[in-house]
Amino acid sequence: MGKLDGKVAVITGGASGIGEAAVRLFVDEGCRVVIADIQDDRGARLAEGLGERATYIHTDVSEEPHVKAALGLALTKFGRLDCLFNNAGVGGVSGSIEELSVEGYDRTMAVLLRGVYLGMKHAAPIMRTQGKGSIISTASIAGIQAGYAPHIYSAAKAAVIQLTRSVAMELGEGDVRVNCICPGVIATPLFAKAVGLPPEVADQTVETIKPALANRQPLRRPGLPEDVARAALWLASDDSSFVTGHALVVDGGLTGGRQWSAAEKQSRLLRLTLGADG
């Protein structure tokens, strides 16, 4: 018996990275899934490989008709909507604050914040009518602490966290839960592109960047899409039925503070400098 038996989910950005891992895990756990993405070939292949439990629809989350269509497909094809995972993302505009274009700002916010808002807006009435549901959004540790991502990306993710908390206070009265996940550094094509690798080789490069990510956090291994997918599974399932308005950090301890070994090394160097270390 799967944790999501009988449930239906829409997962945006579901054709690759964290979204693909979530689609595969949700299907394995008994869920029927609408894969919503703009990567048509990849999304269609994923749905075909998963069989009758998955279907694909082209979805630009910055466009309201697209979001409505994706949620509507869940109803027409599978009869209900138990979970919306607002996961679609982009690295967005980057650079120093004086270099950032208004057009880049608008494009970044359209996907990272407006897309989440539109998903919540159109999932809410469906789930209220059902009397139950779970809305999950992908935020980031960049929305909690500065210095992990470009300015506008960080601001958008902070807004996703606060929007999650605010909407949870409204929808909780109808037994609709609203939570978000704050991943740390995760080995995905999006991360590969964010560090400057060409989009056409980002997929193939994910495996090669994993060793470089292993020591960035106290847990000495790279963060994987499956780590975030498992967090989404918990938030989508009845195991988290008393959890709402929560930002779940999945970062291997990265934001917990300075690593113990680094602190010890600095303390030892200070003692040596002061002549206090035997």
User: What is the Cβ-side half-sphere exposure of residue 186, based on CA atoms within 13 angstroms?
Assistant: 26
Tokens describing residue 70: 């994706």
Distance (Å, whole) CA 179 – CA 201: 33
Straight-line distance from the first to the last Cα atom of the chain, in angstroms, rounded to the nearest whole number:
61
- Residue 25 sits at φ, ψ, to 5 deg, of -70, -45
Backbone Cα Rg of the chain: 20
To the query of whether residue 153 is one of the catalytic residues in this protein, the response is yes
DSSP 133: E
CA distance 122 to 120: 6
* CA dihedral sign of residues 143, 147, 149, 155: positive
Q: Which residues are catalytic?
A: 153
